[in-house]
Structure 1
Amino acid sequence: MKPNFSELARIYGIDRRTVKKYYEGYEGKPKNRNKPSKLDKYYDEIKSKLAIKGVTVKGVYEYLKSKDETIGTYSNFNKYVKKKGLKPEKKVKGHPRFETDPGEQAQVDWKENIKLVSRNGEEFVINVLDFKLGYSRYCCFEINRTKTQEELIESLIRIFKDIGGVPKEILFDNAAAVVDITGEKIKVNSRFKSFAKDFGFEVKLCKPRHSIMDLMSLRFLEGNENILFVGTPGVGKTHLATAIGIECAKRRYSTYFIHFQELIAQLKKALLENRLEYRLKHFSKYKVLIIDEIGYLPIDNDGANLFFQLISSRYEKSSTIITTNVVFSEWGEIFGGATIANAILDRLLHHSYVIFIKGPSYRLQSKTVYFSNTNQQN
């Protein structure tokens, strides 16, 4: 006998169509919906990409989105990865940082035969002396054409003047300018030992870490740390910043390169057009922002305030790479006052690597050789 759906609906206080639906066999919505996902067709590709060491979920998402704009939001992509168990393995925990007392220790290493190519296709081969203080991690880079003992000693003397003192001990690798190697015996050569004695530091032989290679590992991104390259024109600051930026982009971190004057011009234009907030958000969204050539030209108060707002919005949230030819004590001249300059530096330097590069301009290297040869012929 067919039931009276209207009567049952009145008794239970529900719609008669609902009663009929359940009478005809409806069991309610399933607890687990097997609805297919737009991402299912990319399952194998997502799995293979996340298996690559160092690749992030965000990086794979950006990669797929560049191919297919319809894959949805990052939030849904991340949920899909978790649901399918595709989350990459946890990173290996870092080793404890080795600490020394102030003035106790420094380390020196050579980065050899670095090739730089100019916009005109000229190739320059350089050697970089890397000097790092153990306590503050303060770095000095000296660019040399050779690795002679004479150049090493001259570079160290300049660095000692720069840092205002000499550490108690300096770590060196087995460079020919420092040690004599006879068979399996390694000892500090007599001339360098005399130099160390005169300047009051102890030579220790080891294999120190490479600062540039540390930066190329991109560990600085984990702590949202900044990098500031300081040096005279033509010593390779932009080359180094660009190399790090390319490595970041290869690993799918959002990266943006802009000249300082162009950045200020865009912010000032946005202010006039009443869309400053949008433009600040645009520059703040990048994981790595490279700002090139701070200090070549001064800016007005409006420009300084706009730059401060940008740096404040990125502070402790993402990494900023700066190149400048002006030492920090003179940044007040760039930004029109010490107060705003100190506020900017306070946020840039709080979590940062500061790398000073010294040496001759490699843009002028070929010209210097040309004039030198011309003078000799005359």
Structure 2
Amino acid sequence: MLKVGELARRSGLTVRTLHHYDSIGLLQPSARSESGYRLYGDADIERLHAIQALRGMGLSLAEIGPLLGEGDRAQVPALVARQIAQLDEQIERSQRLREQLVLTQTLLARGGRPPPEDWLAGLLLMNTCQQYFSPEETRRLFEDWRRLEADSTALIGEFCQAREGGVPADDIELQPLVRRWMRLTMRWMRGDEAMLDRWRQMRRAHPPTRGGGGLDAPTLHYIEQAVQARLDVLMRYLSPEDIDRLDKTLDDAWDDLVERIMLLVRQGTTPGDPAVRPLVREWFDLMGRLTRHDDALRARLIEAHSREPFLRAGAAMTPAAREFIQQAIAALDPHPT
């Protein structure tokens, strides 16, 4: 048994606090000495521990009393669980606030003082994005857009010039731009087609009235028509499921291959030269990756490009590189022995 002074010293409380607990009936000593000193036993110490734990959770003494009353001890675990849930909600709210501040910081990172309409356009886009993307995804989209903005602005300018010049959206002339647009978009989305689908859903539901880099609603519609024109031709040979399966993250690899093919062409290397064999095998490897190693899909895709100038106009392989590699395939055995 501990006297009140000893209990106060060992618990880190004051004697005055323990006297107060006693006076309100929250923690009454289980015994008293012959001289009237309060004596606290093991059960009292356990109860004091529970009181302080509940106080630490933010409960008032008036709330604690009934919870620790006779027959009510079973409520304590449920109360603790409730407090944990409340703390989790507070943490989540704090995290959301932090993410909002990071997004705001991203907008401010442009420097200077943009005109009010740019602020409003940016804030509208940020708030709209958060209806379709998580805060982390939204932050990533804004940050990556800044990295690609110069290329995007230039490309949008070319689309605008074509639109204003009366070039139809389904003209073959636009297909090289379409390829660049699709490549840039996939780089922005880091190859995540599910995110790209959500972005398209958002843009259909909330068309831009004044977008970054000049991407307004008419220009966006024009670009989407040009992309759809390409897909319409491709779907004469492939199903929508086939198109979804294609690996659309290989543009850098294709560009690197084309560059090395054209280097051999400039050097006067003939398609039958053994030096071309590694490039032929690399072409087959990329085609396998592009079509997820589905031979039937690869055959349909090759047929589509061989028959449709519209598709070749926006393909990764330039006409000269395509002709050279086709001649090399005919001249060399591309398969390892």
Q: Is the pair's TM-score, using the shorter chain for normalization, greater than 0.5?
A: no
* Structure showing the higher helix proportion among its residues: 2
User: What range is the shorter-chain TM-score in?
Assistant: under 0.3
Higher RCO (CA-CA < 8 Å; seq separation 6+):
1
Compute the TM-score of the two structures, normalised by the length of structure 2.
Answer: 0.26
Looking at secondary structure, tell me which structure has more strand per residue: 1
TM-score, normalised by the number of residues in structure 1: 0.24
